[in-house]
């Protein structure tokens, strides 16, 4: 079951003494801080173990919603031809929604972008959506690069600016 709204105390660090008066500059700064926060948290999420450490997931039906199992399965040692990118994109989206419940569920889009042809072992997924914070909605757009050799995931900003128009 996905939670639709929740308040995480970590985001409260973005509160400024003059936050009750949001100007354009303050709003842009807050939007930048929220995007950086999400980028850092998603990097931690994607580099966590996920359900693959449990082995048989059907034996533990509620384990996927557990706090310790939010991650996505490790791709280290997986061949590129053996990866179903659509299924992986759905798994990434679900783990994001479980991890950060303030993200707009209908607006979150995770799509496969490309295989990095320089190394031949990296998949790129674009993550776009909106997050609610302090009665405001902030758009974000991130690029996640999944290395199938090492299992490492890097999350970087995709582009700056408005995501939805």
What pLDDT score does 1 carry?
A: 41
Tell me the pLDDT tens digit for each residue of 35-82. 899 999 999 888 876 655 555 556 666 666 665 566 777 777 777 778
If we measure between CA atoms, which residue out of 111, 100, 156, 155 comes closest to residue 133?
A: 100
- Say how many residues make up the chain: 165
The alpha carbon of 123 is separated from its chain's Cα centroid by a whole number of angstroms, namely 15
Q: What is the pLDDT of residues 98-147, one digit of tens each?
A: 888 889 999 999 999 887 767 678 899 999 999 988 778 889 999 999 98
């Amino acid at each position: 079951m996905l939670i639709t709204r929740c308040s995480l105390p970590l985001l409260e660090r973005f509160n400024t003494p003059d936050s009750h008066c949001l100007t354009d500059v303050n709003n842009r700064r807050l939007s930048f801080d929220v995007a950086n926060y999400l980028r850092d948290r998603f990097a931690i999420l994607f580099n966590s173990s996920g359900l693959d450490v449990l082995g048989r997931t059907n034996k533990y039906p509620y384990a996927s919603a557990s706090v310790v199992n939010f991650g996505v399965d490790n791709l280290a040692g997986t061949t590129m031809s053996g990866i179903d990118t659509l299924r992986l994109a759905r798994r990434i989206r679900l783990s994001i929604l479980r991890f950060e419940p303030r993200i707009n569920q209908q607006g979150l889009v995770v799509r496969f972008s490309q295989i990095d042809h320089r190394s031949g072992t990296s998949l790129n997924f674009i993550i776009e959506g909106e997050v609610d914070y302090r009665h405001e909605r902030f758009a974000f757009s991130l690029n996640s690069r999944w290395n199938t050799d090492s299992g490492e995931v890097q999350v970087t900003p995709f582009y700056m600016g408005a995501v939805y128009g």
